[in-house]
Amino acid sequence: MIVMQLLLSFVASTLFGMIFNVPPRLLPHSGFVGMSGWAAYTFAVRSSVDSVIATFMAAFFVAFLSNAFARRYRAPATIFIVPGILPLVPGGTAFEAMRHVVMNDYNAAIPLAAKVFMISGAIAMGLIFSEVVNQLVKRRP
Amino acid sequence: MTERIDEVMEICLLAGKLMLESGGETYRVEDTMTRIAASFGMPRSHGYVTPTAIIFSIEGTDSTRLIRISERSTDLAKVAVVNDISRRISRGELTLEKARKELEDIGRAPMGYPLWQQTAAAALASACFASLIGGMVHFFPSLFSGGVAFWCFEMVHRFVKIRFFAEFFASFVAGGLVLLMVQAGFGGDVGNMIIGSVLPLVPGLAITNAVRDLMAGHLIAGLSRGAEAFLTAFAIGTGIAFVLSIR
């Protein structure tokens, strides 16, 4: 089961990389970043961490790995970050929120929309924090 | 001397234009242009880049130039290659003429994967992600709807130059296909399949660039990229809502 999840997330992220035209030699690396991000997310959620915090942790991890790869392979970090954060996007919650909006059930839609907003913010915060760490690492000679 | 300045300027603008059009971050574009100018002996230059235009000026000379960026696509390989060329220029490995030639070659060459490969990748990625969140029942239906949705996006975008409409239409098609398939008895959960199918359309690059640009202090570029991401997400959501409401 876990192997299957890892494999699926690896393949999915690699293919996302293809959609964004990641150079072929770096495709496996972006797949690896995506897999690690998804693994971090599922691990956190299964050990009953709130999904907002889990997303934050996973996004931080994705960006941290991406920055490390960017230094190692002398390529822009975006190449690894973009396929890496896609699986973290709160698609399910956004879909539920949209479904309730369409049914005119705004009372049910608003908490879900707030959750989508919080999770998207968590992705951004994860990227920001990791950028800070990256700059601290860079400054050291 | 003026000739040389013009030539350096041309190379800087060419590199900047290629990067910005292919989806590089704004701060990276400015950085690249300044570095190239510096390594050709013009240490003080100023670039001002927004997602739709580049203004570049070399201090101590009369020349300042502006180019307009009208078409933006996603081609991270190009960003990486231009980045690499700028590194080689900084190390002094490339002369003016050579750098210019290489950049022009990159501009002409269609990099990236051909459309059928990208469509296949989108289809498989949709299938993998839908199975990841929902189980293997969703694999084949999402393979179909995800591929068709991505292909629709590319085709509509080719004829109608309004990106948001293309995204809206593609997610509408994805949603419609999923509902039809579920009614015909294929696949499991509607939500999981729709999410998988529209995931290749999600503005991952715009989100990443918005955050990174804001962090680098490029407030205007960051905000406009953020607006792009928001509008894209909105277009996808509207497409899905449309399908759900006419069900």
Over residues B70-94, the mean pLDDT reads 88
Tokens, residue A135: 């700059």
For chain A, what are the domain ranges? 2-139
pLDDT at B204 exceeding the cut of 80: yes
Distance from CA of B28 to the nearest CA of A (A): 9
Q: Give the C-alpha separation, B45 to B54, whole Å.
A: 13
Cβ atoms A61, A111 nearer than 8 A? no
Q: What is the DSSP letter of B112?
A: S
- Tell me the chain A residues in contact with residue B205 when contact means C-beta distances shorter than 8 Å: 20, 78, 82
Q: In 3D, which of B204, B227, B199, B215 has the Cα closest to residue A62?
A: B204
B13, B15, B17, B22: CA torsion to nearest 10: -170
The verdict on a CB contact (< 8 Å) between A79 and B133 is no
For residue A128, which residues of chain B lie inside 8 Å, CB to CB? Answer: 211, 215
pLDDT in tens, chain A (141 residues): 788 889 999 999 999 999 988 999 999 999 999 999 999 999 999 999 999 999 999 999 999 999 999 989 988 888 999 999 998 988 888 888 988 988 899 999 999 999 999 999 999 899 989 988 888 887 765
Taking an 8 Å cut-off on Cβ atoms, the answer to whether B202 and A75 are in contact is no
Residues 6+ apart with CB under 8 A from B68: B52, B53
| Averaged confidence pLDDT in chain B | 89
* Probe site for chain B from A3, A14, A19 (most B CB atoms < 10 A): A19
CA dist., res. A38 & res. B83, Å (int): 29
The answer to whether the beta carbons of residues B236 and B171 sit under 8 Å apart is: yes
Q: A68 — contact with chain B (CB < 8 Å)?
A: no
Distances (CA, A) of A12 to B73, B112, B139, B236, B244: 21, 18, 12, 20, 26
Element (H, E) at B8: helix B2-21
How far from the centroid of its chain's Cα atoms is residue B27's Cα? 15
Cα distances from B99 to residues A125, B104, B139, B201, B242, in angstroms, run 38, 9, 47, 35, 50
Q: Do A15 and B112 touch (CB under 8 A)?
A: no
- Give residue B63's pLDDT band: very low, low, confident or very high (50, 70, 90): confident
ipTM greater than cut 0.90: no
Cβ <8 Å between A21 and B74: yes
Residue B24 with chain A: CB contacts under 8 Å: 76, 78
Higher per-residue confidence, B133 vs B170: B170
B54: which 2 tokens?
A: 């580049």
Ranges of H-type helices in chain A:
2-19, 27-46, 51-73, 78-85, 91-102, 106-139
Judged by CB atoms closer than 8 Å, whether chains meet at A76 and B76 is answered as: yes
A39 touching B (Cβ < 8 Å)? no
Bridging pattern class, strands B45-50 and B64-68: unpaired
- The beta-carbon neighbor of A78 closest among B25, B191, B200 is B25
- Which 8-state DSSP code applies to residue B162? -
Query: In this predicted model, which residue has the larger pLDDT, A54 or B138?
Result: A54
pLDDT of the residue at A106: 93
Q: Is A28 exposed, middle or buried (0-12, 13-18, 19+ CB in 10 A)?
A: middle
Beta bridge partners of B50: B53
Structure tokens of B43? 């240490």
Q: List, in order, residues 6 or more apart from B133 with CB less than 8 Å away.
A: A92, B192, B195, B196
The percent of chain B in helix, strand and coil, each rounded to the nearest 5, is: 70, 5, 20
Measured between beta carbons, the chain B residues lying within 8 angstroms of A89 are 199, 202, 204
Name the residue with tokens 């202090």.
Answer: B217
Angstrom distance (rounded) from CA B202 to CA A85:
11
Instruction: Determine contact: A95 vs chain B, CB below 8 A.
Output: yes
Mean per-residue pLDDT, B29-35:
91
Is B138 within 8 Å of B196 (Cβ atoms)? yes
Q: Which residue has the tokens 């239906």?
A: B141
- Selected for mutation to probe chain B from A7, A16, A46 (highest B CB count within 10 Å) is A16
The end-to-end CA distance of chain A, in Å, is: 43
